[in-house]
Structure 1
């Protein structure tokens, strides 16, 4: 099932959110405005706003209130991508030039900062005091996750626990926060807030593991960038970590990166071959599926309604997607 089909019941609300996103990033300064709009028009799945809106259906759903949270969470995600691209020296994202490539690093960093600031400004309009604490903690943990990723670049001695901690901060927490804040903004019960937060966390873990699998199995057309991009940046993900523990593959992989080959892509292609032959893809898929099952278990604790069905469908899509 395609996301558009799952999103059908939210079509009008999502159109409203998209319009609000455009207005929010429409800065007075022409460079900030152009750079922000360039990023926005690159598109995206809008997973976080959808989680906000669907989680709000478990309380007193009010789109005027929900839109501040939905827009804020998408902006935080967008800002983190801008900063990521500077750190990774990335030229392309979703098949389009990154802000740092189209302008430069300084414009990209200030654009990311501007988008972050606009997000925080929106959430301050919520009357629920806990909302700001929840969001601040999420941003704090995300920042730590990014620093940990930089620290662990080409660190062949890291383990699976390090990886899980990193992707929790990098991806899962923002999705968990989207679900939790959607429920908070709508005044859902504490129990519902808790189950939705956990659902978002488990879905977020599965989402990132699937991303890391696709980095080894996807095509340029599907990914909008060459396969093995994470490894080129020194980001050692679950498929590689599994491969390194099989038949002394760790030293084989380390040797590849210590050799003088024609191109960096040649090194990556060799490691991709090792990962696939070692069973790293299948192992990672099983772990992703386990997180999805935990997400479904959390949904089962929530009242039966169309929003719960939609959340389950999105989670299933995340586990099976090809891009």
Structure 2
């Protein structure tokens, strides 16, 4: 089952991350930077992290590489794969800071984690504008921490022992992924602070930039390092994972529906689809509830009912399903075909993205 494969591969990624942070800590001489590395490790090593991006990189490499060489290179590619996890973690640190989210995967977000630590240090000390100082510390260190995540991932790729030519191609895709993530955040922040109502087209664009492109680039880096054919292997695999990444973003919105209603989030696909199909009364009710300070259980049920009656939930599910089918059809275009085990993996993973409940 795909869940068992993901669980096994996640363990391998966690082991590589732990080894990496141990090396990083031991080689760093500055005591303050050692403390920062410990803070970053605490955030990255969250047990609830799924590690999808390094798993996709590993699967793409194993699917494309000559099977004769896989045993000799599997340890090396696992070491490299954590680069995209560090990139993803850096993005999450910045994303939580911009959204002022206190929690990530059931634990304090990075900026909250840092603020809590400083708050403990200053607990019994009387300092002028202490709260402001603690807020600034969490913000500033998170800006630096997220950026450091990007750079650590890049350094892993630069240090790998793969041939120089394909290494440079992989680095190029990594920097493109970083660019997409930043552009997605820029667009989202611009819309939020300029009070621009998000359309379905804009939602899909942001989902592509902030979510789907990292699926695509993770797979592409793995296939490049395996010396895959750019036209017949790398491109169709990348295109398929781009569709899967978009389906994954939509599925997340479906799974997190109640949480997003409570947060009165206007930038989720089900709300956007509902607004396009509401009648005058439904539109008025949604507007009133989304401006209410706290929603009751009845309020949440009312919103869900409107989402159902406007077919917003059904349309979102159909859209995610169509993207998955599109991806599976694109996977069939890969030639020479993926190695058997990875061919099964990518097809089952595509179905898993749509069927998952978490």
The TM-score with structure 1 as length reference comes to 0.86
- Map of 1:177-188 to 2, 5 A cutoff? 177-188=217-228
C-alpha distance in 1 between matches for 2:355 and 2:235: 26
The equivalent position to 2:105 in structure 1, one of 94, 97, 119, is 94
Matches within 5 A, 1:236-247: 236-247=267-278
Task: Write out aligned runs for 1:1-323 (5 A).
Answer: 1=1, 3-6=3-6, 8=8, 10=9, 13-14=12-13, 16-23=15-22, 26=25, 28=28, 29-43=33-47, 44-57=49-62, 58-60=64-66, 61=70, 62-103=73-114, 104-126=138-160, 127=164, 128=166, 129-153=168-192, 155=195, 157-190=197-230, 191-217=232-258, 227-228=259-260, 231-232=263-264, 234-248=265-279, 249-258=282-291, 261-263=292-294, 269=300, 271-302=303-334, 303=337, 305-323=340-358
Rounded to whole Å, the distance in 2 between the matches of 1:164 and 1:179 is 20
- C-alpha separation in 1, matches of 2:186 and 2:236: 29
User: Deviation at 1:251?
Assistant: 4.5
- Mark the CA change 1:274 to 1:24 in structure 2 (over 3 Å): closer, same or farther: farther
Per-residue deviation at 1:273?
4.3
Q: Within 2, Cα distance between the matches of 1:130 and 1:92? A: 36
Q: CA deviation at 1:153?
A: 2.8
Distance across 1 between alignment mates of 2:180 and 2:206? 10
Q: Secondary structure at the match of 2:101?
A: coil
Distance in 2 (alpha carbons) for counterparts of 1:38 and 1:32: 10
What secondary structure is seen at the aligned counterpart in 2 of 1:228? helix
Structure 1 residue 21 displacement after superposition: 4.5
Give the alignment's Cα RMSD to 1 decimal: 2.6
* Stretch of structure 1 that moved more, 266-275 or 32-41: 266-275
Note the residue ranges of structure 2 that are not aligned, 5 or more in a row. Answer: 115-137
Q: CA deviation at 1:88?
A: 1.0
Name which one, 1 or 2, has greater alpha-carbon Rg. Answer: 2
User: What SS does structure 2 have at the residue aligned with 1:124?
Assistant: helix
Q: Distance in 1 between matches of 2:140 and 2:298?
A: 31
Deviation at 1:293, TM superposition (A): 0.6
Stretch of structure 1 that moved more, 25-34 or 100-109: 25-34
What is the number of residues matched between the two proteins? Answer: 310
Match of 1:220 in 2: none
Q: Cα deviations across residues 115-142 of structure 1 (Å, max 9, x unaligned)?
A: 1110111122352222222111221121
Deviations 1:61-92 (A, max 9, x none): 42344235411111111111111111111111
